[in-house]
Homo-oligomer: A and B are copies of this chain.
Amino acid sequence: MSEGKPRGGRRGREARRASRQDSGAVALPFIQRKIPLTEVLTEEGLETIEANAETILAEIGIEFREDKEALALWRDAGADVDGERVRLPRGLARTLLRTAPREFDQLARNRDRSVHIGGNATVFAPVYGPPFVRDLDGGRRYGTIEDFRNLVKLVYQAPALHHSGGTLCEPVDVPVNKRHLDMLYAHMRYSDKPFMGSVTAPERAADTVALAEILFGADIVADNVVVLSLINANSPMTYDATMLGALKTYAAAGQATVVSPFILAGAMSPVTVAGTLAQILAEAMAGMAFAQLVRPGAPVVFGTFSSSISMQSGAPTFGTPEPTLVLFAAAQLARRLGVPFRSGGSLCGAKVPDAQAAYESAQTLLPTLLAGANFVLHAAGWLEGGLSTSFEKLVMDADQLGMMQVLSQGIDLSPDGQAMDAIREVGPGAHFLGCEHTQNHFETAFYRSSIADNNSVEQWEAEGSLDTAERANALWKKMLESYEAPPLDPAIDEALQAFIAEKKAGMPDSNI
């Protein structure tokens, strides 16, 4: 699937040949979309946004804060550096981005679960970042490392979650400066899907790379993307020292970063879609171009988290039409730039996994697929504007992801798909239930939901009148009960644990 730029298909295929491992859980490969893209902006509209982004970069500039090395790199590259304000001559960012790979593979320790980032691929990853968890039994509470491990196990078992993600919840019972070690170990030990790295400090990014070297082997890490990490811009038009530090660490190691303007339109960007788009493009281009200054060819993803705010209360809102338009158009801008795109997910502002949660999530998720997003963070489990990870919603959303995977494959036009023999066999006024064609497809026809109840109201009442969240509660518990860890070489496991123990022993607990 590589299209002429370095890194990607060839290396990915080689990697897949290496060191396959058996794994118990059913997993779907990442999506290779066969349906056309939905696009909302014309060529002329796209050119307007691109011209405005260049104007932002050239005239207003981006702040790179508390990072002298970053400012020096920019000065050397020909930017106008005034204090911490970096102004990029028109075209500079786009020129620098020529070295960024158009698409690339991220390896998983189980190579069957490696993913492709870019092109017609879509990779679903779970919610990232909530300090709280919520389930029907325990209500809303701070996340713990036990919650985190359980979430890793659930994601591992969800077939259409192609990626283990990163901070599935904040394990608040572990000191901040040691949290990343326990989170990374959980991803490495309890799943064999690809995962994300720590970005809360440069040294934690370095720990991520070091642990990946133990898990994959240093030679593999040197030549392949094995970690994908989330670098948020401080919108508007600012990158802070923490994010720049992590970005530099990963870029220098040849590891991938998702450079994401974090936008609540109306607060961090203008209240209009076109204004928000120009700002997002400018911010993302500046961040991704900076990664190329650190190491030409560093794999980057054009990310954006974009929602809007209630003009009455200032609260973030989700699943509304304006962010959907931003999503569709930003995907178009990323394709024109020639880099993979991350956005969307199953976002909502609801406090519980009810109808609001589902409307808003579906109204975000389907556009995410149709827009052609390549990497989809928050694809399952997001609740309450990202403040809570919901165990019930995780499995509810994961069911929707399975549907998106089927939808992405379009219509089978083979003779069997056309089914003319079946229509001839059945004829007017009869039914298709017993015909040969139906019988042949009995096992595979139609997506089979893990959550939906399609029985009669009488049967549903007889089974306790459970609503969707209650059924989901039973499902995730059943999944945890049947969880089996994927095999991991005991020597590697021991080395991971030894590294972590040494790191932890070497520093006092700290909550910054």
Residues of A that sit less than 8 Å from B by CB:
35-36, 38-41, 45, 48, 52, 55-56, 59-63, 85, 140, 234, 236-238, 265-279, 308-317, 319-322, 324-325, 329, 349-363, 366-367, 370, 384-385, 387-388, 396, 400, 403-404, 406-407, 410-413, 416-420, 422-424, 426-433, 437-438, 441-443, 445-449, 451-457, 460, 465, 467-469
Selected contact of A420 from candidates B236, B275, B361, B431, CB within 8 Å: B275
A354 contact set on B, CB distance < 8 A: 354-355, 358, 467-469
Say yes or no: A432-B269 contact (C-beta < 8 A), given A419-B274, A420-B275, A454-B385. Answer: yes
* Total copies of the chain: 2
Query: Quick check: A456 and B237 within 8 Å, CB to CB?
Result: no
Assembled-state Cα–Cα distance A275/B358 (Å): 31
Could you pull out 14 A-B pairs where Cβ atoms are within 8 angstroms?
A38-B38, A41-B411, A63-B428, A236-B423, A265-B446, A271-B432, A271-B445, A272-B441, A274-B413, A278-B420, A309-B446, A316-B454, A317-B452, A370-B370
Say yes or no: A356-B447 contact (C-beta < 8 A), given A36-B38, A321-B403, A427-B60. Answer: no
Q: A410 — nearest CB in chain B belongs to which residue?
A: B40
Which 8 pairs between the two chains have the least Cβ-Cβ distance?
A: A275-B419, A358-B358, A362-B362, A270-B419, A237-B428, A321-B407, A271-B445, A355-B358
Q: How far is the CB of A344 from chain B (nearest CB, A)?
A: 13
Assembled-state Cα–Cα distance A351/B361 (Å): 20
Query: Quick check: A449 and B350 within 8 Å, CB to CB?
Result: no
Assembled-state Cα–Cα distance A296/B316 (Å): 54
Q: How far is the CB of A278 from chain B (nearest CB, A)?
A: 7
Query: Quick check: B446 and A350 within 8 Å, CB to CB?
Result: no
Q: How far is the CB of A132 from chain B (nearest CB, A)?
A: 8
Q: A140 — nearest CB in chain B belongs to which residue?
A: B457
Query: Quick check: B325 and A274 within 8 Å, CB to CB?
Result: no
Q: How far is the CB of A214 from chain B (nearest CB, A)?
A: 39
A424 contact set on B, CB distance < 8 A: 59-60
Question: In the complex, given contacts A314-B433, A321-B406, A357-B358, what are 6 additional A-B residue pairs having Cβ atoms less than 8 angstroms apart?
Answer: A52-B420, A270-B438, A271-B432, A278-B419, A320-B406, A329-B411
Q: How far is the CB of A247 from chain B (nearest CB, A)?
A: 17
Assembled-state Cα–Cα distance A467/B467 (Å): 12
Interface centre among A40, A309, A310, A355 (most CB of B within 10 A): A355
A353 contact set on B, CB distance < 8 A: 355
